Amino acid sequence: LQKQKEKEQKEAQKAALQMESNKVKITKSADPSDPQEYYKMRVSMIENRRANGDNPFPHKFNVSISITEFVSKYNYLEKDALLEDTVVSVAGTHYFIPSLLPVVLPGNCVYMS
Tens digits of residue pLDDT in 19-60: 666 554 545 555 567 888 888 888 999 999 999 988 887 767
CB 113 within 8 A of CB 105: no
- % of the chain beyond a pLDDT of 90: 9
- Residue range 3-14: average pLDDT? 81
Tens digits of residue pLDDT in 78-99: 888 888 898 888 887 777 766 6
| Secondary element (H or E) of residue 49 | helix 35-51
Domain range annotation of the chain? 24-108
Amino acid at 85: D
Rounded distance between C-alpha atoms, residue 44 and residue 19, angstroms: 19
pLDDT, residue 47, reads: 93
pLDDT, residue 48, reads: 92
Q: What is the DSSP letter of 79?
A: T
CB 49 within 8 A of CB 42: no
Name, in order, each residue with C-beta under 8 angstroms of 1's C-beta and a sequence gap of 6 or more: none
